[in-house]
Amino acid sequence: MTNPISTRKHGDVLIVESNNPPVNALSAAVRQGLVEAIEQGEADDGVKALVIACEGQTFFAGADITEFGKPPVMPWLPEVVDRIEACSKPVVAAIHGTALGGGLEVALGCHYRVAVPSAKLGTPEVKLGLLPGAGGTQRLPRVAGVEKALQMCATGNPIGAKEAYESGLVDRLIEGDLVPHAVAYAEEVSDVRPLPRSSERQDRVENVDASVFDDFRKANGRKFRGFDAPDANIRAVKVATEKPYGEGVIEERKLFMELMSGGQAKAQQYFFFAERKAAKIDDIPEDTKPRDIKRVGVIGAGTMGGGISMNFLSAGIPVTIVEMGQDALDRGTGVVRNNYEASATKGRFTASQVEQAMGLLNPTLDFDALADCDLIIEAVYENMDVKKEVFGRLDTIAKPGAILASNTSYLNVDEIASSTSRPQDVVGLHFFSPANIMKLLEVVRGAKTAPDVLLTAMRIGKKIRKVPVVAGVCHGFIGNRMLMPRQVEATKLLLEGASPEQIDKVHVEFGMPMGPFQMADLAGVDIGWHRDPNRIENIRDALCAIERWGQKKGAGFYDYDEARRPNPSPVVQDIIEDFAKKQGVERREISTQEIVERTIYPMVNEGAKILEEGMAQRASDVDVVWVYGYGWPVYRGGPMYWADHGEGLQKIVDGLKRNEERMKPEFSFSKLLLDKAEKGERFTR
């Protein structure tokens, strides 16, 4: 094994450099190399100080996650960090890119930290279901202060170098070449004694009011709901304010081991790799080159079109947005501006960034203006005839090689493509609402979609900070297709005796942000409704006929007060009971177990059908869709991971069999699910 750590001397400073692509993860070889380098520097009388730096795109981005779950290889990261801190000569961390997790802990073990202004520092362990376990929860509050440490550890969000500098975490910001400046800094501090050791500091962890922790917990209650790791992080940071360092790290270790052996950490670590795998397309030639996207066109300035445009504008890509009438165009442009300004008030954009983004937007009524766009996304009314007409027209205008995309959420992309003379350039780009916020992007691969079109769609998705997942052409693709059996069964359960709030509660307690009926009310009960108030064939028709269209009308499956709080509705209850009577459905007590078996298990069954038909590349992609598109709790990995590791496939099959008769005729078993359950196999690793 080649040593990823090299050393070289510059005057009396020893530069210790890591070269472990892609992200300088702290693998066993890196850890070993670091310890040896420290010992080398300490033994050499010609060395007065050391600098630890990294080659490539980033400083150490953390422990090597691929080593988790394998037998530990010495030296452990906590020992490495302790060894660095114990060095009798000053050690300076030179940070660029991201100093994350164990990487930040290494930096905290160093006596000084310098960073380029673009660097980011963070403790993302919580996102892997963990806490910084190499002394990080004890050193960070001692150096950066309790509130900053609490924020960083419990949310996992990194901070910029400037903020780190202001908090005391970074000692100097470096403009220009990092390593030479870090060496100069090391020379400056080479004679300073005693060495500033993070673990020895007490000033920032003394006399801290315990209410800080309770207030923080309360303020973040919604965000942390269901997760184990945030609370463990809060507890660990609190320990730093109560106990000396030596005792604190023992507690930290205990909490770390508890988390590491729990199911949530495994699920979250699985998901980390699932997300990265989703970006890979299995079967396109390796030498495929993406097309160049310099200007994007968006057809339709409604909520979706506006939201879609914002993604590109924020990434610095000019957008031509087309509407049929001036009023709709002005309204759409106004909404985009308002959204940006609202984000600016929350500090997400500066006023000049807002102007810069708006300056890239070209609103027009002239369809021909799309002629110079490299990618054109249609976001018009969800109707096949309308879409085909738009694509037919686009075919006559778009330049050769332009990618023609539809934002359809259900419709057949191949049929849409057939209305053009260039089906190879057509792809589905299914954004989720609100399109400027939601991370998921389903990239729908048509039968004739060219490999370079697919690759370009994936790349541009990443560029606009989405998580793109490839889906095949089928009704509802991956996400909405799995939603359908859930909705069908949830509605049947209403007739059989459950209430909307009972069903929603089961889903919320499971960890979803909302249940099926809360979701319907938010999205609009009237979406896809036939618009004939006299044609009442189901509960939804009945609600729509009396304008109970959801939150936007103050009433849907629930009644809403002024603060948009939902309350059970007696009107809805009457409608449900009335329908049950008319349809001769016998009402009975419905258990939580039955709600799970009939609304969540069928989703797994549908996911299995999607895999069986090759509509998703891999089971983990289905999980990525559900976590990023619908808020499936990441601590349960995703529906397919949960089926494998949480619930067990046999249990799911048994539950579905128990309810099969009631779920017919809509329900049918996935052969793949039955096979896997029978053979004791899994969908995910």
Which residues of the chain form contacts with ligand 3H9 (CB under 6 A)? 22-23, 25, 58, 61-66, 77, 98, 100-102, 105, 124-125, 128, 130, 132-134, 136, 276
In the complex, what is the shortest distance from the CB of residue 283 to ligand 3H9, in angstroms, rounded to a whole number?
A: 18
Angle at 47 between CA 44 and CA 51, to 5 degrees: 120
In the complex, what is the shortest distance from the CB of residue 582 to ligand 3H9, in angstroms, rounded to a whole number?
A: 55
| Residue 110 exposed, middle or buried by CB count within 10 Å (0-12, 13-18, 19+) | buried
For ligand 3H9, the closer CB: 106 or 380: 106
- Of the candidates 111, 288, 321, which has an alpha carbon nearest to the alpha carbon of residue 198? 111
Q: How far is 648 from 641, CA to CA, in rounded Å? A: 9
Sign of the dihedral defined by the CA atoms of residues 153, 154, 159, 162, in that order: negative
For ligand 3H9, the closer CB: 63 or 615: 63
Strand partners, 13: 10, 49
- Of the candidates 591, 593, 590, 556, which has an alpha carbon nearest to the alpha carbon of residue 575? 556
Residue 662's CB is within 10 A of a number of other CB atoms, namely 14
The CA–CA distances, whole Å, from 490 to 20, 502, 558 equal: 51, 10, 15
For ligand 3H9, the closer CB: 121 or 403: 121
For ligand 3H9, the closer CB: 132 or 479: 132
In the complex, what is the shortest distance from the CB of residue 163 to ligand 3H9, in angstroms, rounded to a whole number?
A: 17
Residues in Cβ contact with 163 at an 8 Å cutoff, skipping those fewer than 6 apart: none
CA 78 to chain centre: 29
For ligand 3H9, the closer CB: 56 or 648: 56
- Backbone torsions φ then ψ of 503, nearest 5 degrees: -70, -45
Cβ–Cβ under 8 Å, residues 53 and 15:
yes
In the complex, what is the shortest distance from the CB of residue 467 to ligand 3H9, in angstroms, rounded to a whole number?
A: 11
Strand partners, 567: 559
For ligand 3H9, the closer CB: 96 or 507: 96
In the complex, what is the shortest distance from the CB of residue 270 to ligand 3H9, in angstroms, rounded to a whole number?
A: 12
For ligand 3H9, the closer CB: 274 or 361: 274
In the complex, what is the shortest distance from the CB of residue 102 to ligand 3H9, in angstroms, rounded to a whole number?
A: 3
In the complex, what is the shortest distance from the CB of residue 494 to ligand 3H9, in angstroms, rounded to a whole number?
A: 42
In the complex, what is the shortest distance from the CB of residue 634 to ligand 3H9, in angstroms, rounded to a whole number?
A: 13
Contacts 24+ apart (CB under 8 A), 556-564: 556/517, 556/520, 556/521, 556/525, 557/500, 557/517, 557/518, 557/520, 557/521, 557/525, 558/500, 558/501, 558/517, 558/518, 558/521, 560/521
Q: How far is 121 from 97, CA to CA, in rounded Å? A: 9
Q: How far is 193 from 189, CA to CA, in rounded Å? A: 9
The CA–CA distances, whole Å, from 468 to 275, 369, 677 equal: 9, 28, 30
For ligand 3H9, the closer CB: 101 or 515: 101
Map tokens 């110079």 to a residue: 372
Q: Name the residues annotated as catalytic.
A: 105, 125
